A and B are shown apart, each in its own frame.
Chain A
Amino acid sequence: MKKWQCIVCGFEYDEAQGMPDEGIEAGTKWEDIPDDWTCPDCGAPKDDFEMMEVE
């Protein structure tokens, strides 16, 4: 399970948690999120996310 971060506003998507409010189930892998999904905070496209370092 990985985390992805919006490079514009810092919003984090955690694959383990998903976003049930948005209809994205827990455990949904980043590549399985639709391409037209956008950052829920700032609206930036999926392309503007990058994988976060594992600490």
Chain B
Amino acid sequence: MSTPEMTLEEARAYDKKRWLWPMGFGIIILVGAALLTGWWFNITWLLFAGPIIVYGVVPALDYLIGKDSTNPPERVLDVLEDDPYYRYSTYLFVPVQFVFLIVATGIVGTNDLTFLQWLGMTSSLGMLSGVAINTAHELGHKNTRLESWLAKIVLAPVAYGHFYVEHNYGHHSNVATPEDPASARMGENFWRFLWRTMGGSAKSAVHVEKTRLKRKGRGFWHWRNELLQSWAMTVALFTGLVLAFGVEVLPFLIVQAFIGASLLEAVNYCEHYGLLRKKRGNGRYERCRPEHSWNNDHIVTNIFLFHLQRHSDHHAHPTRRYQSLRHFDEAPELPTGYAGMIVLAYIPPLWRKVMDKRVVAHYDGDIRQANLQPSKRKKLLTQYPPPSGAATA
């Protein structure tokens, strides 16, 4: 409950990032401007603006600008939670993404691009689609009709509609356990994780939706099936774009969707790497707590991803809006933002060098308490022997 003397204006003054949230769009519009300039003046490297910004500019800005670990007081959070300003920033993303998609598809379909130009356009749009999944994530946790639908619409261009179902009902209950396809295990390299999570998440989504429909007395092939609804939107959208711009846009649409999905999965890889909830005597896992997610407080990536990196609080309060997510001192912290971490994830030896020692430290040297890749268990235990005298896990 909010205290009566706290006005919206007063509460807003506490959010240091308040005027920065729309900067996420600033970056997207910058990518758009770069693509148009690159296409119009035939400057090929500009067409790679998406990956250059995500993999280069954002990590560099994180390094230069640093962190913000402050939390507004609890009574302010309650008021900010209801401030519509923050909601509108997520709604606005939806039309921006669709304009971007249609213009980019139009350029690819109606011009004779060189392979490099095509690759630039495809990877840049893929980055946008990946960031769109993050917006869908923010929207998909809110239980209003409008936001649930916007979440599904935003997932259409990236053909990842099942994320909406799987993330809430699968990932949130199985997070940081070996059963969760979206929680990476220590010793599991990103490329291996990518296949496991893509296949596993789709399978899990089908299972969740089948169970839900069965309870309502419906079969899987029913128009109320949320997975089929979402996938049908993708089919309709891609068909519309093919009819408008020619069948040659199809590889572009498919590859950009794959790039977008793999960007999301790279972020998933960072969020819970090696972290494990203990199994209790009754066969249930312990509750998800702050120490089961990797966090980061670098400002630029947090703006870009709607505070996704305050991930422990997100798992503790999944319906809480992004502006109210808090930093926890006890949560494990990544050395840099997710944008920089995914670049490391793509290069497994580098990732292991940076992250494995952090998992080891997190469990006070006893990695038997970590979520280990079964095939690497022996090797990891030889490399990081548990302290003698420690109780067996």
Contact = CB atoms under 8 A, between A and B. Distances in A.
A21 B168 CA distance: 24
Contact of B287 (A10, A21, A43): A43
Interface of B: 141, 143, 168-169, 172-175, 208, 212, 282, 284, 287-289, 315-319
A24 interface: no
Contact of A42 (B143, B282, B315): B315
A6 to B, nearest CB: 8
A26 B130 CA distance: 45
Q: Chain A contact residues: over half helix, strand or loop, or mixed?
A: loop
B319 A9 contact: no
A45 interface: yes
Contact of A8 (B282, B284, B318): B318
Nearest to A48: B319
A42 B175 contact: yes
Given A21-B284, A38-B287, A42-B288, A7 B319 contact: yes
B169 A9 contact: yes
Interface size class of A (residues with CB under 8 A): 10 to 19
B172 A42 contact: yes
Nearest to A53: B216
Contacts of A8: 141, 168, 172, 318-319
14 contacts: A8-B319, A10-B168, A10-B169, A10-B173, A11-B173, A21-B284, A39-B287, A41-B173, A41-B174, A42-B288, A44-B317, A44-B318, A44-B319, A45-B316
A27 B294 CA distance: 38
Given A42-B315, A45-B317, A9 B172 contact: yes
The 6 A-B residue pairs with the shortest CB-CB distance, nearest first, are A41-B173, A9-B173, A43-B288, A42-B172, A21-B282, A8-B318
Interface in A1-38: 7-11, 21, 38
Contacts of B315: 42-43
A2 to B, nearest CB: 16
Nearest to B316: A43
B178 to A, nearest CB: 15
A41 B208 CA distance: 15
Nearest to B290: A43
Contacts of A38: 287, 316
A9 B174 CA distance: 9
Contacts of B289: 43
* Most chain A beta carbons < 10 A, residue from B284, B318, B319: B318
Nearest to A44: B318
Given A8-B141, A10-B168, 15 more contacts: A8-B168, A8-B172, A8-B318, A9-B169, A9-B172, A10-B212, A39-B287, A40-B284, A40-B287, A41-B173, A41-B174, A42-B172, A42-B315, A42-B318, A45-B317
A34 B318 CA distance: 20
Contact of A7 (B143, B173, B175): B143
